[in-house]
Amino acid sequence: MVARPRVVVTGNARRWSPSWWCTQLTLRLLGARAIRVSTRHRVSRNAEVDALIIGGGDDISPNHYGQPAKPDGDYDPARDALEIEWIQWALKTNTPMLGICRGAQLINVVLGGELNQNIRSLRKRTYNRPGLLPTKQVWLDTRSTVRAATRKGKLRVNSLHYQVVTRPGEGMRAVGWDLDEFIQATEHSTRAIMGVQWHPEYLFYLSSERRIFAWLLDCVSARKERP
């Protein structure tokens, strides 16, 4: 029997974590095994890990990208440190990586990128109300891996964020934008790294969103097939 790919999924440490359960279900449907990692769920980076998903959640401490913290910021320094270590490990080992919302932001930050901490007042063509349903639009670069993976030039997505990447990290490029031209997707030019600002795990019932996770597993397969 072929072993199922093992995918580390980072996130918050709460007992009730819908994002974790939805991601785990999506990966299981695609034939992979999800391994939960948080400040309460520790896994050795020496263990056999085939891919990494950095999940959504709390704001990233602005100290990591050279900005002052906001008085009302919701930060989790311990989670920042844990996920930064996993991202650095994935970069060192060339492990395929997917960032979701906060995760997409943190990957770019680790690679030297910057964020806007609050875009609410800057929105002109889209509303700020968060939601899990696919009510917002994202346009994808015609040459992007995200477009090839989802098989869509325009996606309907959900939105829970009010922070975005304003300057992609080294090697990363913007490949998706919303109506206000805020970056919604990034990907690495040479590595198997993708970041999406929405939450595809909550949209697992859409084939285009499942394909984002399928892309990650395809990268695992391709890596194992290399001589």
Look at the chain and report how many structural domains it folds into.
1
In a domain, 204, yes or no: yes
Determine the pLDDT at residue 129: 84
In a domain, 132, yes or no: yes
Show the low-confidence residues of the chain (pLDDT under 50).
Answer: 1
Determine the pLDDT at residue 163: 93
Q: What is the spatial distance between Cα 216 and Cα 201, in angstroms, rounded to a whole number?
A: 13
Determine the pLDDT at residue 157: 97
**Which residue, among 94, 76, 9, has the nearest Cα to 43 in the 3D structure?**
9
In a domain, 80, yes or no: yes
Determine the pLDDT at residue 2: 63
Whichever domain contains 10, its CATH number is: 3.40.50.880
Burial 34-62 (b: 16+ CB within 10 A, else e): bbbbbbebeeebeeebbbbbbbbbebbbb
Give residue for tokens 């100290």.
63
In a domain, 164, yes or no: yes
Determine the pLDDT at residue 71: 78
In a domain, 44, yes or no: yes
As annotated, the active-site residues are 101, 199, 201
Q: Give me the domain span that covers residue 45.
A: 6-225
In a domain, 112, yes or no: yes
Q: What is the spatial distance between Cα 120 and Cα 3, in angstroms, rounded to a whole number?
A: 45
* Total residues belonging to the chain: 227
For residues 160 and 199, is the Cβ–Cβ distance under 8 A?
Answer: yes
Tell me phi and psi for residue 133, to 5 degrees.
-85, 155
Determine the pLDDT at residue 47: 77
In a domain, 1, yes or no: no
The pTM assigned to this predicted structure is 0.96
Give residue for tokens 């805020």.
182
pLDDT in tens, 40-97: 998 888 779 999 999 999 899 999 999 998 877 789 999 999 999 999 999 999 999 9
